[in-house]
Structure 1
Amino acid sequence: MQQAAGADDSRTRILDAAEKLFYERGVQAVGMDALRTEAGVSLKRLYGCFPSKDDLVAAYLGRRDTRWRADLATYVTERAVTPEDRLPALFDWLHAWFAAPGFRGCAFINSFGELGASSDGVTRIARHHKLALHAYLADLVRDLRIDDPARLAGQLVLLIDGAITTAALTGNPAAALDARTAAGVLVAAAH
């Protein structure tokens, strides 16, 4: 039992290190030795938890997807009193994320840009993340009595990805506020 707890603790430390280093520097720039050092585990333990770097990248992205979407949904749920409040709350959350220290854009777009052509796993996980975001957005706008919630959700995903990329490239979190304004125009046009 204690050995399993130690393995779980090591796995968590390794994933924490991967999230920090992969997001800061990029997946290809970070070697397994740097991950081992950051996590404070032996190379044997690292490979015992994650037999390959591909396995670690998949676990990192899977955990990031779960956390990112949960954080977003919690924020929106806590702040939106009416269905009309949901999208503005979403863009407020993006603004806060863009302004946070260490913001480097979308981990899924970044990883796909680095590895998508050579990694079916990264492509699959990045696609899953974007499809899950699309489904979440379709649910958010459904109560607004929009003619085509799926179409509007697709437009909003494009808007969100553009805002994330713009904020990462320019260092200006106001991209979220501009996207919030544009989302209002899209919603009004969708009625």
Structure 2
Amino acid sequence: MKKLLTLSAIAASFAAPAMAAEEVNVYSYRQPFLVEPMFNEFTKETGIKVNVKFAKKGLAEKLQQEGEYSPADVVLTTDISRLAELTDKDVVQAVDSDVINANVPAQYRDKENEWFALTLRTRNVYSSRDRVGKLGAEFNYADLANPEYKGKICTRSGKHPYNVSLVSSMIAHHGEAETKEWLEGVKAT
């Protein structure tokens, strides 16, 4: 099975000499309007054509089906859960790049060098001043479990990849027991 390089930002992948080519094939979970300008600028600067297959879901399964015959060179993902899916399905490969190591801090690189990130997602909490009041700078996700917010929380499904990532982060920082207690509190609100 062909293994792929996975990224959270495609530009850095082209810094690796092994990626030098006339064309590069990218599978992307990103919305076209967000990344096409980057691809166009890259082509303008390097002369390398970027062919993109956009998808909302199912790229890991597609890569498994294509196996060693996959045309994909790079996968551009949207968050850590997508990266984990690709590595769990064993469709990625390690990348040894001095350029990446020099420019991407270690905390944003996989320990096995199978992926790296150049951007972080901000998880904002918005509130209605009329219904909730102004939230201060000290407000955090743990506060969402407070009874004072009962009936005032709107969120995506708990199965949405962004929420799965949030809960995973809570587990990593606070442990399973504390995160379970927090989730039960959020559910009760």
- By relative contact order (CA 8 Å, sep 6+), the higher-ranking structure is 2
Higher strand residue share = 2
Give the alignment's TM-score, normalised by structure 1: 0.30
Q: Say which structure is richer in helix.
A: 1
